[in-house]
Amino acid sequence: MAMGHGESDIEALLEIRNLHAGIDDTQILKGIDLSIAPGEIHAIMGRNGSGKTTAANIIMGHPDFEVEEGELLLSGENLLELEPWERAREGVFLSFQYPQAVPGLQVGNFLRKSVASIRGEEAAKGADFRRELNEAMDTLKIPRNFLSRYVNDGFSGGEKKRFEILQLLLLKPKLAILDETDSGLDIDGIKTVAAGINAAVRGTDSGALIITHYSRILEHVQPDKIHVLIGGQIVATGGPELATQLEERGYEWLDSKAEVEGIA
Amino acid sequence: MDSTAEYLSLDEPTRSSHLWKYTPWRRIHPTGDITSIPDVGTPRLRLVGLDGGDAPEGIRLEKGVMSVSGLPEGDVVTGSFLQAASASSQWILRIEPGFSSQDPVVLDIDVKGSSSILHLSLDVGRLSELELITRVRGSGKWFGLLRTGEIGAGAVLNDVVVCLQDEGTLLRVDSIAIGRDAQVRAGTVSSGSERTKADLRYRMGEPGGNLRVLGSILSVDSMHIDHHVEIYHDAPETFSRLTWNSACGGDSRTVGTGMLRVADGSRGADAAQIFHNLLLSADAEADSIPELEVLEHEVVGCGHGTANGPIDEDQVFYLESRGFDPSEARSALIAAFLNSTLSEMGSDSLHDWLVELLNSELRTPDA
């Protein structure tokens, strides 16, 4: 029996179809198609302004962005009908490029509340939660006194990124979007963060979408597919070797392809 | 002239006065007839540990009033009125020299009936260490609280006044002298009474005094909460910081005015004040006016500032991306804003107690 269109949707963890979106009447994404299967890690690479962060914000449901056309499905469910907090509870996680500081909100309380909201009250209680928290902090080399600090308040760039990955490990999302989580990190920081991403995704049914400028993090988190975004469209998709090509040749060799397709 | 005669000789203060610009005396007076000093009742007082048990030895309440030299000059209208009206409701909170307690002590003030008043003299012995919570609660329609006193040399005092009156009006005047090398954290937590007028004055007349004045104010519905804080550096090497956070919802109004005075001769004084206002609704209003009067040139620094704004939508999105629903995100951000000052008021146990209190207040705000 031939497989119907709807059945293939359910197999995909994330399905983006013909997504057109923008902000303040400016169209930024001009027809994105992308499919991530459970257990896969994909990467999106591109220059500044190519639409990478917009794509991340749209998947999370940032209210400033408007979807004009297209579909966004998580395990077959239409994310576009859900508010950001509902998407989070359905299993979408965004590691922010610039995480917000919330002075006065202690990290420990924030983590407990987040875990309770997303995984349920029981997951945020008792010895099991403390053990899980301690293990995740050890993986990321985060000291215990971190818990009494305020969320991202006075954190260094590296601390902010580690804290985002700590949340990833504790919230156990179906889909993790990592928006330039490697930027601003030294090589040790990249390795630590990569270990966190691998621990969260590898060997699970979760998936990840890594947004990055650089191939360095992809040496430590081997993606299944790499997509290149230029002018709001994916102009190339390939395996890990595509990152090496981009590292050597830059993006210019893809500009002509974008021009031919009328994108750039 | 006694305080009754002094009050009755005064003219009504006008709005041109810094102190009375936003809250006229007529609105705060127990009856509105400012030519009278009405008879008022006395509140019920209880001095207990944080767990409700007995207060430790070395701290006690006594009937009477303490005469303290070196108190800051206060507003003559409220000062004389409260002194005259509280003649039969005067208590001294005496803390023995060298007293030390690991656990906070609570002075519960239960206000009932149409009006009540208390003149509390603080006698904080030298080298004592204490965390004191003064909690005002109850259904009284009008409560006047006059706190005068002296923090002894080398004492370490975390002094938090929590105002949770169900309704009505609170008039509070503090006039506190801070001794040599004393370290004081003076916190105010307020989310009660429909109208509050507070005039808090601290004088550092001895070298080495260290003062932090902190406010966590939550106004909802149609509350009107007006605090004036005046810090007077009148000795060398004195340090003060004023941080005042007000979250203002409904169609309420908060007012925070600060006066930082540094007298000639207060070399090495280091002082700053900042007011933050979080506006939770379009109809809420917050006014902050920090002022400086610096007569000494050789100071470490004297600064002031104020910042107003609504809840940051980027913070809301961040919390929503972590599963907080919009109401939870909003409450968490209000609590975080107030907690920034709350957490500076004292020890972890005091802080935990205050956070629990704050959370119970936030469960039903009409913000």
Give tens-digit pLDDT for B95-104: 999 999 989 9
| Domain spans of chain B, in order of start | 3-362
Mutate to test the interface with A, among B321, B338, B339 (most CBs of A within 10 A): B321
Per-residue pLDDT of chain A (264 residues; tens, 9 = 90+): 333 333 444 479 999 999 999 999 899 999 999 999 999 999 999 988 899 999 999 999 999 999 999 999 999 999 999 999 999 999 999 999 999 999 999 999 999 999 999 999 999 998 999 999 999 999 999 999 999 999 999 999 999 999 999 999 999 999 999 999 988 888 888 998 899 889 888 889 999 999 998 888 998 999 999 999 999 999 999 999 998 888 888 888 887 766 655 554
- Report the pLDDT value the prediction gives residue A10, as an integer from 0 to 100: 46
CA A149 vs. chain centroid, Å, equals 25
Residue B16's pLDDT band, with cuts at 50, 70 and 90, is confident
* Exposed / middle / buried, residue A26 (Cβ in 10 Å: 0-12, 13-18, 19+): exposed
CA dist list (Å): B9 to A14, B77, B78, B202 = 79, 10, 13, 26
- Report the pLDDT value the prediction gives residue A4, as an integer from 0 to 100: 38
Is residue B37 classed as helix, strand or coil in its secondary structure?
A: coil
Average pLDDT estimate for B227-239: 97
- Report the pLDDT value the prediction gives residue A9, as an integer from 0 to 100: 44
Cβ <8 Å between B328 and A113:
yes
* Residue partners of B227: CB distance under 8 A and separation at least 6: B188, B190, B196, B198, B200, B215, B217, B244, B254, B255, B256, B257
Closest CA to B241 of B210, B197, B198: B210
First vs last Cα of chain B: how many Å apart?
Answer: 47
Is residue B237 classed as helix, strand or coil in its secondary structure?
A: coil
Rounded to the nearest integer, the mean pLDDT of chain B is 93
Candidate from A41-50, B68-77, B160-169 with smallest mean pLDDT: B68-77
Which residues sit opposite B187 in a β-bridge? B160, B214
Q: How many domains does chain A have?
A: 1
CA distance A190 to chain B (A): 23
pLDDT above 60: residue B139: yes
What span, in angstroms and rounded, lies between the C-alpha atoms of A191 and B295? 57
> Residues of A with CB below 8 A from B214's CB?
none
pLDDT above 80: residue B363: no
- Report the pLDDT value the prediction gives residue A77, as an integer from 0 to 100: 94
What span, in angstroms and rounded, lies between the C-alpha atoms of B29 and B146? 14
* Residue partners of A213: CB distance under 8 A and separation at least 6: A45, A46, A47, A48, A180, A183
Cβ <8 Å between A85 and B320:
yes
Q: What percentage of residues in chain B have a pLDDT greater than 90?
A: 84
Provide the token pair at B24: 């006229």
CA distance A121 to chain B (A): 12
Provide the token pair at A224: 């299944």
Candidate from A27-31, A260-264, B146-150, B274-278 with smallest mean pLDDT: A260-264
Name residue, tokens 């601003």: A184
pTM higher than 0.80, yes or no? Answer: yes
- Report the pLDDT value the prediction gives residue A262, as an integer from 0 to 100: 54
Give ipTM to 2 decimals.
Answer: 0.93
- Report the pLDDT value the prediction gives residue A3, as an integer from 0 to 100: 39
- Report the pLDDT value the prediction gives residue B349, as an integer from 0 to 100: 85
Task: Please give the residue range of the domain that contains residue A60.
Answer: 5-260
CA dist list (Å): A227 to A20, A105, A254, A258, B276 = 17, 37, 12, 13, 45
Cβ <8 Å between A117 and B326:
no
CA distance A12 to chain B (A): 22
Q: Can you give the CATH number for the domain in which A132 is found?
A: 3.40.50.300
* Exposed / middle / buried, residue B56 (Cβ in 10 Å: 0-12, 13-18, 19+): middle
pLDDT above 50: residue B365: no
Residue type, B24: P
What span, in angstroms and rounded, lies between the C-alpha atoms of B269 and B128? 24
Average pLDDT estimate for B53-75: 88
Cβ <8 Å between A102 and B326:
no
**Burial letters B205-242, b for 16+ CB under 10 A, else e:** bbebbbbbbbbbbbbbeebbbbbbbbbbbbbbbbbbbb
